[in-house]
Amino acid sequence: MQTNFIIRGFGHYAPERILTNADLEKIVDTTDEWITTRTGIKQRHIVTEGEAASDMALKSSLAALAEAGLEPGDLTHIVVATFTPDSMIPSTACVLQHKLGIKGQMCIDVSAACSGFLYALQTARGYLTLDPEAKVLVVASEVISRRTNWEDRSTCVLFGDASGAVVLTGGDEGETPRVMDMKLAADGSLGDLLSVHGGGSAYSYKLGEPVGEEFFVQMQGRETFKHAVRNMTSICEALLEENGVVKEDIDVLLTHQANWRIIDAVGRKFGIVPEKVFSNIDRYANTSAASIPVALSEAVKTAFIKPGDLVLLTSFGGGFTWGSALVRF
């Protein structure tokens, strides 16, 4: 059985087009000051016409594969985390496989909203446990701009498009970066606080009917905020306790990038100084499942995360879903 889970490469990609807070001031009744003070967001990347989740996933995946020193044909599994797939069928993982020019691998999409990357990473650890020789591509890709109600100022200022990827394989004792342990959780009773119901089978539509608000992200922000801070903090505490790790051992805290106030609140609850908390929310906004792998890839490439660091990851998203992971670099 494989018990060493090694991240061989990191990659990220965001579309070239940038939408600033000043641009949003021309679309809805908002201000740069409101967005900055409430969220920490200054700009977000937005796809161009014709660019889909699989296109961004292809770019972040090729970057992660190159860093891992692997060819697409070396992969055994492709796991894509997204709540904005290219289509209902085929899965974005299958579309990505085709764009990578390969065939035969197991391909699956994972749906856990902003916790999607950690859910996908845990799925990949399961495949590796079953098949110690597996080489698993874990990629998160979100085109939230196509599921954004651009008339709703309470949500449209919050999100952006991006993709992040890692390649996970087995390894030897002592190899790094190593996923040491993870914890995941969910509470389906709170699902309606953050939803995109439109297009689902619980709702019937007829050919030619216009789409309604339910096709776009709907969120009760204040309630979500409270649950996010509470649940990310408690699942991190539980993970640390189970692994005999104390808060002082954490070198870097990297949370889902939903809102700077949430990131800051989790850091404060842990007594982690702001210098150890990674954030790129100002440049990307909330990219849902993609936020953790994009942030990880940036933090590694800019040497914010250094060899030997113990990194605590945590996420919270629709479902509600949440999770935490410990990674030794």
List residues near ligand ACO by CB under 6 A. Answer: 30, 34-35, 38-39, 113-114, 153-154, 157-158, 194, 221-222, 224-225, 228, 258-259, 262, 286, 288, 316-318
Distance set, CA 225 to CA 33, 72, 237, 316 (Å): 20, 39, 19, 10
In angstroms, give the least distance from the CB of 233 to ligand ACO. Answer: 13
Amino acid identity of residue 108, one-letter, is I
Is-catalytic flag, 107? no
Smaller CB distance to ligand ACO: residue 71 or 187?
187
Q: Which residue is nearest to ligand ACO (CB)?
A: 221
Joined together, the tokens standing for residue 29 give 């009744």
Is-catalytic flag, 114? yes
Of the residues 114, 156, 231, 236, only one is catalytic, namely 114
Which residues have C-beta within 8 Å of that of residue 103, sequence separation ≥ 6? 97
Of the residues 94, 256, 259, 280, only one is catalytic, namely 256
Torsion sign across C-alpha atoms 22, 28, 32, 35: negative
In angstroms, give the least distance from the CB of 66 to ligand ACO. Answer: 29
Is-catalytic flag, 77? no
Q: How far is residue 249's CA from residue 309's CA, in Å, rounded to a whole number?
A: 9
In angstroms, give the least distance from the CB of 46 to ligand ACO. Answer: 16
Smaller CB distance to ligand ACO: residue 143 or 228?
228
Contact 291, 202 (CB under 8 A): no
Amino acid identity of residue 251, one-letter, is D
Contact 10, 182 (CB under 8 A): no
DSSP string for residues in 280-307 = -HHHH-B-GGGHHHHHHHHHHHTTSS-T
Smaller CB distance to ligand ACO: residue 134 or 295?
295
Of the residues 21, 259, 280, 286, only one is catalytic, namely 286
Smaller CB distance to ligand ACO: residue 54 or 288?
288
In angstroms, give the least distance from the CB of 323 to ligand ACO. Answer: 12
In angstroms, give the least distance from the CB of 77 to ligand ACO. Answer: 25
**Cα Rg of the chain, angstroms:** 19
Report the 10 Å Cβ neighbour count for 275: 8
Smaller CB distance to ligand ACO: residue 228 or 235?
228
| Helix, coil or strand: residue 318 | coil
Q: How far is residue 308's CA from residue 177's CA, in Å, rounded to a whole number?
A: 9
Catalytic residues: 114, 256, 286
